[in-house]
Amino acid sequence: MRSVVIVRLYLSTAIVAATALLLFSSAPTPVGAESSKETLAHWDRPARAIGAEPAGNSKTGPRPYPKDCAACHPAKEADWSGSLHSRSTGPGLMAQLAPHPGEAPGFATACYRCHAPLIEQSEVIATETGFAINPAFDPVLQSTGVSCAACHLRGSVIYGPKKPANIEADAIGHATAKSALFSSSEFCAACHQLDGGYELNGTVLTNTYNEWKRSRYATSGITCQKCHMPGKRHLWRGIHDPEMVLSGVDIATTYDGNAEDGSLSARLTITNTGVGHMFPTYVTPSATVTAFLKDNRGNIIERSKQSATIGRSIALDLSEELFDTRIAPDGKFDFHYTVAEDVDTALAKELLFEVTVAPDEFYSRFFASMIENSTPQAGAKKYEMLKEAYKATVASEYLLYQKVFVLGD
């Protein structure tokens, strides 16, 4: 695990102080009912990247692959290639669709609405009588996930927040069009607000846009892009990035010292100071606060460890919401640490607070369950993809914060 913030204070005795893709497979409405016609048209999925004829004055039309976009936009392509958007059709998704998406086309196309939204990225297409093999399927384009074309390319026209001035389509190889939609949170809501999707306790499992709309960030005009695409960078950093998380929360600790009866009291408070939605959003991540005592040999004192989890936890079978302890914008989470009466605090030389983040906590449980109920004989490729996906979810966990109080003699 990566360690991001480690703070150590030395104190005298007198002062001694967080079914996976099955969740999103119900073909929900792309955005809220109030969505503009432009949003609904742009995110009418599956979207067609390449039109029947090249648009504007372009003779060839744009190629839909990120490597081609990189010829003129190398920095943006480099940002994208390191993002989760570039891995949206990775082993975690494809293992669930194995051995072939055509065996469960309804499930596959529902997943592809956000993970591979272009018609050219799907093996199957919906017809009036059911589903059929897609003659336009491009496996290379599918492997790029939520690529440049997935957001910007519609019918051979490249859409974006601004149109290049005085440049003909022939000069750049494609036609362009300006759309203010690219600067609005509504654009992101197409996949980050799944109204009509699966609900628990009256709330859909993907509710980020509505969480933002209820916050001061919406009324202040602080859009998704201003935080997740600063300077128009195509990074989309979030819960997987420790620095991004630390920029959105404030973590403070206090130590109240030892009472005459040997009891010990301390507190850690996390304040959501800069996250424009619930911290964390979705049902997949969690943050865990832990406190414990160590003796003079560095061993954890028995029964001294206590923890609390911040997140929206649900059962693997989606039958119930286990708890929702997330922090709303400008809200706080207080963790009060007191040791049990049978813990000998006289042995304690250090008090430690830690905050660990598991960005893929639900997916870890989900893939572990799938592996447990699968065998290599049932499908070697699927089994290997499941193991790869599980390994990645476990590896995403990191230590966000640690504070050590060195207790005096």
* From 57-66, 153-162, 209-218, the region with the lowest mean pLDDT: 57-66
CB count, 10 Å around CB of 49? 27
Question: What are the residues whose beta carbons fall under 8 Å from the beta carbon of 378, sequence distance 6 or more?
Answer: none
Residue 62 has pLDDT above 50, yes or no: yes
> What length does the chain have?
409
| pLDDT value of residue 69 | 95
Residue 88 has pLDDT above 70, yes or no: yes
pLDDT in tens, 145-189: 999 999 999 999 999 998 766 566 556 778 899 999 999 999 999
Residue 26 has pLDDT above 80, yes or no: no
Question: What are the residues whose beta carbons fall under 8 Å from the beta carbon of 374, sequence distance 6 or more?
Answer: 382, 383, 386
Q: Alpha helix locations (H) across 29-168?
A: 37-42, 66-69, 74-81, 91-97, 105-115, 139-143, 148-152
Contact (CB, 8 A) for 402 and 352: yes
| pLDDT value of residue 58 | 46
| pLDDT value of residue 167 | 61
| pLDDT value of residue 362 | 98
Contact (CB, 8 A) for 385 and 93: no
Chain mean position to CA 241: 10
| pLDDT value of residue 55 | 44
Residue 202 has pLDDT above 80, yes or no: yes
Residue 4 has pLDDT above 90, yes or no: no
pLDDT in tens, 291-338: 999 999 999 999 999 999 999 999 999 999 999 999 999 999 999 999
* From 16-30, 78-92, 181-195, the region with the lowest mean pLDDT: 16-30
| pLDDT value of residue 31 | 53
Classified as helix, coil or strand, 314 is strand
Give one DSSP letter per residue of 203-221, joined into a string: EES-BHHHHHHTSHHHHTT
Confidence band, pLDDT 50/70/90 cuts, at residue 16 = very low
pLDDT in tens, 338-367: 987 888 888 999 999 999 999 999 999 999
- What the chain holds in terms of domains, given with CATH numbers, is 3-22+238-406 (2.60.40.10), 29-192 (no CATH)
User: Span 93-120, mean pLDDT?
Assistant: 94
- pTM score, whole prediction: 0.89
Contact (CB, 8 A) for 226 and 50: no
Residue 33 has pLDDT above 50, yes or no: no
How large is the greatest C-alpha to C-alpha distance in the chain, in angstroms?
A: 85
Q: Alpha helix locations (H) across 247-360?
A: none
Higher per-residue confidence, 11 vs 363: 363
**Alpha-carbon distance 247 to 380, whole Å?**
42
Contact (CB, 8 A) for 266 and 17: yes
**Alpha-carbon distance 311 to 292, whole Å?**
21
Confidence band, pLDDT 50/70/90 cuts, at residue 14 = very low
Please state the φ and ψ torsions of residue 351, each to the nearest 5 degrees: -115, 125
Residue 106 has pLDDT above 70, yes or no: yes
Higher per-residue confidence, 16 vs 105: 105
User: Span 99-113, mean pLDDT?
Assistant: 92
CA-to-CA separations, 22 to 73, 97, 116, 122, 307, in angstroms, rounded: 35, 11, 16, 18, 29
DSSP label at 300? B
Higher per-residue confidence, 139 vs 172: 139
Confidence band, pLDDT 50/70/90 cuts, at residue 15 = very low
Closest alpha carbon to 346 in 389, 402, 385, 296: 296
Confidence band, pLDDT 50/70/90 cuts, at residue 259 = low
| pLDDT value of residue 56 | 45
pLDDT in tens, 183-200: 999 999 999 999 988 999
Q: Is 227 exposed, middle or buried (0-12, 13-18, 19+ CB in 10 A)?
A: buried
- Using alpha carbons only, give the angle 243, 399, 330 rounded to the nearest 5 degrees: 55
Chain mean position to CA 153: 24
Confidence band, pLDDT 50/70/90 cuts, at residue 10 = very low
CA-to-CA separations, 232 to 75, 76, 92, 144, 226, in angstroms, rounded: 11, 9, 28, 20, 8
User: Span 192-216, mean pLDDT?
Assistant: 96
Q: What is the mean pLDDT of the chain?
A: 88
**Alpha-carbon distance 177 to 294, whole Å?**
62
Confidence band, pLDDT 50/70/90 cuts, at residue 131 = very high
**Alpha-carbon distance 391 to 29, whole Å?**
32
| pLDDT value of residue 404 | 97
| pLDDT value of residue 168 | 60
